[in-house]
Each structure stands twice: as structure tokens, then as C-alpha cells.
Amino acid sequence: MNALQKQIAHKGFAVTEPIFEPSEIHTLLEQIAELDTDKSTFRKTNDLFAIRQFFKEAPETLATVFNEKLKTLVTQTFGKDFFIVKSIYFDKPEQSNWFVAYHQDLTISVDRKVEEKGFGPWTVKQNQFAVQPPLTILENNFTIRIHLDDTHEQNGALKVIPGSHLKGIYRPDTIDWTQETEAVCSVSAGAVMFMKPLLLHASSRTTNQQRRRVIHIECSNSPLPESMQWSEYLNPF
């Protein structure tokens, strides 16, 4: 394994050097600014702007997001059989005062609700079905977080518990802080954070009036039962 693979395998996350040029970040932000925000997949509050099914709503961003550097990095680190199954754009504005408590990403997004052994419980958000799949799927998936701003502890960088992805379903109320440690994942603008969905992670309130804009992409290579499909299947690799 290379260094990136080792860190993801043992710690559950890794942060790269910048792989997007300032001009590419500028292009992405311009494309996002031009979107019609009245659709149901857009969430707008004083503290948050988010776009669910990001690549469906902003397909013009695909060419910039999946540049050769990112595609090469993904295939060299994870292999060539992965594909996109979920995409979200998050903007934590300068005045944001919300935080996210420790949690694991335990659901996947699919096109319908069906009774299937090993899948459940179910939730529905904005006509998008989410379900907790068998543990093997979650163990194999990974997430790409492309940072469009410098992100650090003062503007809501992720806090994680290294190695927690190796412990299966790990309820936050059972965290033993005599055994666990916390790491703050500072990420430069244009850099990428890879993480496993079972990694316990949280984020703090913004305290320095600086934005934190992130494109969050979930990847899998797992087949689903014939009764359901991924809601956002895309293969850019």
C-alpha cells in the first residue's frame, strides 16, 4: 500500500495537498452561483446553503471536479471499479453558529423503498430514500470531500476519532474518551479529504467569520439487490 492507502486503512481518513488550481475553484464557485436555487434539492437557511444531488443539479461542474489529478488519485488509491452514489454541496457561511455532533454516515441513497433483507431502517428527505445497508457495503464505501476554502478548527473543520471506522456500528453515546483521541482535519483550499463512512466525525461552530464550502461525494463499488438502484449512479473514473 502507498502512504495514502495506509492512512485511510488504519485511521479512516487522509488529507491531500491541493489538487485543484485557484482558477478551477473559481470556475466551480461561478457555476454554483448561477444555479436556480428554488428547487426542492436546495436547502437555504441563515446558517446553511446545501445542494442535494449536486451533480444532477450542476452537471456543468463535472469536467472541473473530475480533473485528471483527482481521477488518477482515486483509481491509484481505491481501484478502478468505484462509482459515485451521492453528491452534496455544503456552504457553512461566515455567520454560521451550527455544529454537528459525532456520528457515522450509516445510510445510502436509493431510488425506492422496498423490503429487502439486511436493509433498514428507512428515512425519506425531499423525496430521496435513504436506508442503512448491510455493514459490508458501508465498510467498503469511501467519501471524497473537495474543499473550496481553507478549512480549520475556527471555521468548522471536521473533527474525527481516528480508527473508529474499524469498530463497526459505534454509537456516539458509547465513546470511551479514556481510550479514544480526537483529530482536527485542517484542509487547504483545493485539497481533498478522503474518509470512510464509518469514521466517527463531527464539526464545530464557525468562530472566525470565514466560509467553509465543500463538495461531498460518496463512492461505492457494491452491487445492490435487483429491487433497488442507487439514486445517483455516475461513473466518472
Instruction: Please answer whether residues 186 and 203 qualify as being in contact, where contact means their C-beta atoms are separated by less than 8 angstroms.
Output: no
Contacts of 67 (CB under 8 A, 6+ apart): 19, 20, 24
Secondary structure class of 57 (helix, strand, coil): helix
Q: Three-state SS string across 170-196, please?
A: CCHHHCCCCCCCCEECCECCCCEEEEC
Fold of 3-220: Jelly Rolls (2.60.120)
- pLDDT tens, position by position, 125-163: 767 899 999 999 999 999 999 999 999 988 889 999 999
Q: What pLDDT shows up at residue 98?
A: 74
pLDDT tens digits, one per residue of 55-68: 999 999 999 999 99
3-state secondary structure of 142: strand
| Residue written as grid cell 478549512 | 151
Residue pair 102/204 in contact (Cβ under 8 Å)? The answer is: no
> What is the pLDDT, as a whole number, of residue 46?
60
What average pLDDT does range 211-226 have in this prediction?
A: 96
> Nearest Cα to 53, choosing from 236, 237, 230, 200?
230
Reported as type and span, the H/E element at residue 75 is: helix 68-78
Q: What is residue 47's predicted lDDT score, i.e. its pLDDT?
A: 53
Summarize pLDDT for 92-118 with one digit per residue, the tens.
877 766 789 999 999 999 999 999 999
pLDDT in tens, 184-200: 999 999 999 999 999 99
Residue 83 or 50, more confident: 83
Q: pLDDT at residue 53 above 90?
A: yes
